[in-house]
Amino acid sequence: MNTSGTKKNISDKGRVFVGLSGGVDSAVSAALLKEQGYDVTGVFIKAWQPDWMVCTWREERRDAMRVALALDIPFLFLDMEKEYKQGVVDKMIAEYKANRTPNPDVLCNREIKFGSFWNKAKELGADFIATGHYAKVFSKQHSLALYESKDKEKDQSYFLWTLTQEDLEHTLFPVGGLEKKDVRELAKKFKLPVAEKKDSQGICFLGDVSMEDFLSHYIDIKPGKVVNTDGQVIGTHKGLPFYTIGERHGFEVTKKSADSSPFYIVAKDVKTNALVVSNDIAEIKDLSPQKVVLKNVNWIHEPLVPELTARIRYHGGKLPCKLSLEGKKLAVEFTNPVRGLALGQSIVFYSDEECLGGAVMDRLY
């Protein structure tokens, strides 16, 4: 069975630096690569955490070191606090201040895991880097292509749209061709000390702290009113940056509807600091945009036709759409109005299971 999740030629083994997060996926990735004959080095990357937050990285580093010891592979510790703060956290905070909703995981992949980490690994003599991401890389027409993982529930191709052909040439995803349950079984087979460890949830540097609590330390948050589309005040909110278009949680509605149907966020009025909501399905559909202008476009494989499918959120369904130009900007028009198009979020394009690339949603049209 090919468990590497890749059809790249691996007959000529090389030196690979595996990002060991302290979790089971990266641990099994390292074990598989060693079994396949690679010269494997385990690497723990220290991300940034603020002084006021309970430290979590030392525990994760300990688990990563235990994995390296169990596999009898060299272990490196890379302090990338500065790179993480500047490349991920500062950019994330700036987007929230602008009332946009960024994807920190996408930023982390672009700036750290496949940016600073690879640069350091290459400097230290690595031929490849590997991570525990659930995705696959295949050869296709004299180039490389990124595909969804075998395990569709765990697939992380949505967060990998910023990768380039050059990135794919030196990147390995050893668990991409496996189901999560098989990864767990392999962890037991390899007698890895993290075999029973629970999967981490959320953004790595936050630990158990909510995004709301974190942002409140860096953004001037002003509570405000929740209004319906007629402008009537029906509740309160904690601060506009905490909310994303399409959500239905986190704000308080004091004037309930007759049928108690849920209210969804349809707009943010920055001038009045009001959150605009609706519980009328027909109205929500009418207010939902069908076209969005994009920025930071990246193609792993540029599409041959404008008709594609796209995801606008992790684990979201694939929506039929068509690419077009609005002036010099690339835009995408959906077949039907789409609820929950959030500016700052990633839109990722697919052709069947192939991830062609993506962009950031910049302006509703």
Please list the alpha-helical segments (H only) found in 245-353.
Answer: 281-287
Of 55, 108, 321, 355, the catalytic one is: 108
From residue 236, alpha-carbon distances to 171, 226, 316 in Å are: 47, 5, 28
Which amino acid, 275?
A: L
Sequence-separated (6 or more) residues with CB below 8 Å from residue 282 = none
In angstroms, rounded to a whole number, what is the distance separating the alpha carbons of residues 364 and 213?
29
Q: Residue written as tokens 């068509």?
A: 322
| DSSP states along 186-212 | HHHHTT-TTTTPPPP-S-GGGTT--HH
Residue 108: active-site member: yes
Q: Which residues pair with 278 in a beta bridge?
A: 264
In angstroms, rounded to a whole number, what is the distance separating the alpha carbons of residues 242 and 211?
8
Sequence-separated (6 or more) residues with CB below 8 Å from residue 298 = 161, 162, 163, 164, 357, 358, 359
From residue 80, alpha-carbon distances to 41, 45, 120, 226, 233 in Å are: 18, 6, 10, 41, 46
In angstroms, rounded to a whole number, what is the distance separating the alpha carbons of residues 140 and 7?
10
Of 55, 204, 321, 355, the catalytic one is: 204
Active-site residue list: 108, 204
